[in-house]
Structure 1
Amino acid sequence: MRLRINDIPMTLGAGAKNLREAAAEILGVSPESILSVDVLRKSLDARRNRPPFFVYAVVVTVPDSIGIPDSRDRRISLEADQAFLRTPQMRPIRTRKRPVVVGSGPAGLFAALVLARSGLPVLLVERGKAVVERIRDVQAFWEKGEFHPESHVHFGEGGAGTFSDGKLTSRVKNPLTAWVKKILVEMGAPRNILIDAKPHIGTDRLRRIVVRMRQELQDLGCEIRFAANMTDVIVQRGAVDGIVINGREEVRAEQLILAIGQSADDSYRMLHDRGVQLAPKPFAAGLRIEHPQALIDEIQYGPWVGSAELPPAEYALAVRIPDLDRAVYTFCMCPGGQVIGCSAREKGVVTNGMSCSRRDGPFANSAVVVNIRTEDFAGTSLHPLSGLQFRRRWEAGAYALGGGRYFAPAQRLVDFLEGRPTREGMETSFLPGVVPAPLHRALPGFAVEALKRGLAAFNEKMPGFLTGEAVLIGVETRTSSPVRIVRGTDGQSVSVRGIFPCGEGAGYAGGIVSSALDGIRAAELLLESLA
């Protein structure tokens, strides 16, 4: 008999080796009666002013003769073997028609994997470069300010997630989440992502994982083409009939999965011109904040800081500003990471956070953002692409405030709140570099006011957050897409049959896991349409 036990607390130093004894005590049996212990989940409870401890959920195997334990203990339940793991609905389909997947981020890669494992002759096209070449281009941007319009943090193998913290947390409750993580482990991710409550991979490992996924797809017969930009969509009688690559090569296709990511502004415009229905979508924008990691550790762990068992400390903060009717919250927090320039167009500055698997850098960073409504884009004359123009305006403004060369405008947190200029040098990890600048000019007035009040409120929730060591860097505008490619319940564009939009660029996902899940959904619905 297999039983699930939730909420098993383990103090620092106890280690997972004592789980058998703890489970036996909860069940009221001897440790020898437990035949096996499988960890399902591990989380850290590090609320301030009390000793941190780990919390486990496990599945134990016990002899049927023990009987079902007392049902009044809600921590204990019957567990059907592997009930938590569902696989995509792949079905063998015989067809010579080749579906095309556009984009090699998480949505595109997982969509292509489901199709290829179903036996379809998939073509995957990516406008950027393969990982090795892409890394060289990104390094040249960070070190020399050399921007490559088709090869940067957003475009290329693995998508924007390749240069990120590699978080695998998601608020989406989907039984396929475990399968996504299982595939990532098969491709080289550490096994602990299967049980950690806040799993992450790190940019160093992600770069190897996407190469392994490419090799897996090619072994399954998938053709992958880099430097292949979808510049047009061929539409006949309300249905897709193919795409144009690099402005000259026509590729016929009756099924097209669009996983273009949220930074392909030219693709959005082309789709709009071809009659694909788009809609404006709310998103969030703000700044990156950076603290010394040692300070965050001290705030979060208190007298227990320095324990070898404790990871670099994290935080998640949110506050509502009622009279402004805005929310201010932290997003994509990267402990032990660095702030990176991830410009998506020439003469524009965009910031983001990235970290390696060890998270052992000297700084902690996070986005601090304000919700942006569609009416903020352009008032009453709202166009489906107004959000792109809104976003571009503030990215271009940040480029100007930074003095060009893709340096970012930056200001000490205390100076930003007091409305005074920062004059002395600032310690920051940002590449290519920062320039002291008045950040009240980097965002709309309502966003600046909300950020000031939100940051002050954060210090009440997390005393010590407001410090002279903290630096704000602008601007953070790529939290999610300001455009949605409208699709129906069958997963297809409501205006052009055969187009299956998915992922961040479609406006239905955000982050690695939710994008991968949306790509799987698109592939399943495509297979259903063929069947």
Structure 2
Amino acid sequence: MPLFNNISLSPGASLENALKKLDPQFKSFRILKKSLDARKKSKIMYIYTVETFASVSPPPLEKILLDKFPSDKKPMTTIIGAGPAGLFAALRLVERGLPCRILERGKPILERMRDISRHWKKGQLNPDSNVCFGEGGAGTFSDGKLITRIKSEHIDYVMQRFVDFGSPEEILYLANPHVGSNQIRKVISRLSDLLQEKGCSIEYETRAEEFHMHGNQLTAVTSHKGEKFESDHWILASGHSAHDVYHRLIAANILCESKSFAMGFRIEHPQEFITKAQYGKLYNHPDIPTANYKISCHDKKSDLGVYSFCMCPGGYVLASSAQAGHMVVNGMSNYNHGSPFANSGLVITIDKDKWLGNDPLKALEFQSKIEQKAFATGQDVGATIQVPAQTPENFMRGIRGDIGRSSCPSGVISANLQDIYPKELTEAYVKALENFERKIPGFLTNNALLHAVESRTSSPIRVPRDKENLESPSCMNLYPCGEGAGYAGGITSAAVDGIRCAEAIFAKEFAKL
């Protein structure tokens, strides 16, 4: 199986022809990695890593074989949350032969989509079924990005399972894999169907309301409907927006702490402008993907950094509040990146030591106050369902001004966003915008629009756990998991963390035999 690294090809060039020169006898090949190098607009290249085979088709990939739990007496695990962390934890548990159930506060995807549509178009917010809550979690209404910076033996497994459930095979080798919001909904729905076929019950519209402790063990959880669920083990995968769950944990004396996170605005440009800025003369080449960007700067004087987050080429800006009286935005794009707009979060780090201290309730309060200010800013200028927005130039001048079109399905309304954040953060943001204009000329002026506020980049809370057994030190059968517990930063890393928690439970129970 010859392996070829760093094969460089211009857009549109034939990979098969290049391989014939490198290995004239090959009959099939498998792409292991494909990335686009657009650092030089005059020399944009695809970079491949490929292995070739003498067989007519590549041999099948090795499947992971897992040992089943050998005892007839099997402990129950209850998972709180049906996002990527919770669903993949359940998948690994059923593959290990261990029973489990999921408590999900929201609805199945199709019903959830109807609730979200009512929120966007009529302003009717369901606090348990929205962009943040429901089957699939917040990542279901995003770009479906599967990029991750973590290193884990489980990443290849997660990617293969996404393909098994309907994602395109290219996610196995692309440097920046994504499935799009429209595709990931199908994937999540098929995964949920399989779990239920394997005996994992998913209790939809079941919000964890009260945590019952006995000593250092969590014995039961009562839902908002009064149902009481008992379990041997618990995986907490409630997502980064479950403020009420954090309050319940603290009330039950389960250890929580504040952590640094990021907040800012979501900026939108015409996609054509971004594509020309990134690709130059090749901006409309049919073999080049819809352009994105990654940008950052750090002000040494204030020691504050601003950076792009969750960039969505060919996407939409979404109203993403999970609580009444709050205004939150996020970005989404479908697999084909078909929108004429590009959007990205531009966020600034909220340092825990400077702004939050160690009190987790203060962290929640800080986040909520910013979102409430954003909501009030829109209300003050007559917003009903619209998102408050402002051009970057007018934001820097502190004037309201006219605004152009936006992709936001709820619409936008002109507002002055200057006073939403503390003055120090606003000043750092203004400096960053000036810096970004120098890096990408036209970034401030080419029909750009800021939307308020991008505040749910990650959880402001961490639920501590032991590094080895992954259990909470204050609750020995609770496994804090995923983004909501502060241990993941995206779909793939959350899924991997869910698997890790499931494996920790399997290892603990296996050791007892």
Question: What TM-score, normalized by structure 1, do the two folds share?
Answer: 0.91
Cα distance, 1:506–1:463 mapped onto 2, change above 3 Å: same
Q: Alpha carbons of 1:89 and 1:257: their partners in 2 closer, same or farther (altered >3 Å)?
A: farther
Residue 507 (structure 2) pairs with residue 523 (structure 1) = no
1:406-450 per-position Cα deviation (integer Å, ceiling 9, x unaligned):
42221111211233321x242111231222111111212122111
> 2:314 corresponds to which letter in structure 1?
G
Q: Is the 8 A contact 1:401 1:408 kept in 2?
A: no
CA change 1:90–1:519 in 2 (3 A) is farther
Letter of the 2:257 partner, please give it. Answer: A
| Equivalent position of 2:87 in the other structure | 109
Task: Tell me by how many angstroms 1:105 deviates.
Answer: 0.3
Does structure 2 conserve the Cα–Cα contact (< 8 Å) formed by 1:239 and 1:254? no
User: Of residues 64, 67, 92 in structure 1, which corresponds to 2:69?
Assistant: 92
Find out whether 1:17 has 2:16 as its counterpart: yes
2:314 aligned with 1:336: yes
Shift of residue 122 of structure 1? 1.0
Percent identical among aligned pairs is 38
More off after superposition, 382-391 vs 139-148: 382-391
Candidates 135, 160, 164, aligned match of 2:113: 135
Q: 1:383 aligned to 2:359? A: yes
Structure 2 CA distance for partners of 1:248 and 1:82, relative to 1, 3 Å: same
The Cα shift of 1:93 comes to 4.2
The one-letter code matched in structure 2 to 1:449 is E
Q: Does 1:45 align with 2:37?
A: yes
Counterpart of 1:42, as a letter, is: K
What is the match of residue 226 of structure 2? 248
**How far did residue 358 of structure 1 move?**
0.4
* Correspondence for 1:321: 299
Whichever residue aligns with residue 339 of structure 1, its letter is V
SS in 2 for 1:447: helix
SS at match of 2:2: strand
1:247 deviation in Å?
A: 4.8
For residue 411 of structure 2, what is the aligned residue in structure 1?
A: 433
Q: Which amino acid aligns with 1:456?
A: E
1:395-410 mapped onto 2 (5 Å cutoff): 395-403=371-379, 404-410=383-389
Higher alpha-carbon deviation: 334-343 or 45-54: 45-54
Distance 1:161 1:287 in 2: 19
Give the residue type in structure 2 aligned to 1:326.
L
User: Contact conserved, 1:232 with 1:247, CA < 8 A, in 2?
Assistant: no
Stretches of structure 2 that go unaligned for 5 or more consecutive residues are: none
Change (3 A) 1:500 1:165: same
Give the whole-Å Cα distance in 2 for the aligned partners of 1:90 and 1:401.
56
Separation in structure 1 between the aligned mates of residue 285 and residue 87 of structure 2, nearest angstrom: 39
Q: Aligned partner of 2:145: which letter?
A: K
Map 1:90-489 onto structure 2 (within 5 A): 91-94=68-71, 95-378=73-356, 382-403=358-379, 404-422=383-401, 424-489=402-467
Asked if 1 retains the 8 angstrom alpha-carbon contact of 2:388 and 2:451, the reply is yes
Worse-superposed segment, 240-249 or 199-208: 240-249
Q: d(CA) in 2 for partners of 1:127 and 1:439? A: 33
| 1:75-90 aligned within 5 A | 87=64
User: 2:473 aligns to what?
Assistant: 494
| Other-structure match for 1:69 | none
Residue number in structure 1 paired with 2:488: 509
SS of the residue corresponding to residue 360 of structure 2 reads: coil
| Residue 17 to residue 375, structure 1, CA distance change in 2 (3 Å) | same
1:174-226: per-residue Cα shift (whole Å, max 9, x none)?
A: 22111101000100111111111101011111111111001110121111110
For the residues of structure 1 that align with 2:386 and 2:75, how far apart are their CA atoms? 47
- Whole-Å separation in 2 of the counterparts to 1:454 and 1:124: 43
> How many pairs were matched up?
502
Residues in 2 aligned to 1:246 and 1:466: alpha-carbon distance in whole angstroms: 47
On the 8 A contact 2:219/2:230 being kept in 1, the answer is yes
In the other structure, the counterpart of 1:73 is none
1:22-33 paired onto structure 2 within 5 Å: 24=22, 31-33=23-25
Q: 1-side partners of 2:497 and 2:2: how far apart?
A: 32
Q: CA RMSD in A?
A: 1.8
Q: Is the 8 A contact 1:48 1:300 kept in 2?
A: no
User: Relative to structure 2, which stretch is displaced further, 153-162 or 115-124?
Assistant: 115-124
Tell me the CA shift for residue 344 of structure 1: 1.2
Give the distance between the partners of 2:18 and 2:447, measured in 1 at CA. Answer: 41
Q: 2:49: which partner in 1?
A: 57
Query: What is the one-letter code of the residue matched to 2:277?
Result: I
Q: For residues 102-148 of structure 1, what are the alpha-carbon distances to aligned partners after superposition, in whole Å with 9 as ceiling and x for unaligned?
A: 10000000000000111122111100001111000000000111111
Give the Cα separation in 2 of the matches to 1:263 and 1:194: 30
Q: Secondary structure at the match of 1:32?
A: coil
Letter paired with 2:208: M
CA contact 1:159–1:261 (8 Å) conserved in 2: yes
Q: Which amino acid aligns with 2:303?
A: D
Equivalent residue letter for 2:163: V
Amino acid at match of 1:222: C
Q: Which amino acid aligns with 2:326?
A: G
SS of the equivalent of 1:504 reads coil
Q: Which moved more, 1:445-454 or 1:176-185?
A: 445-454
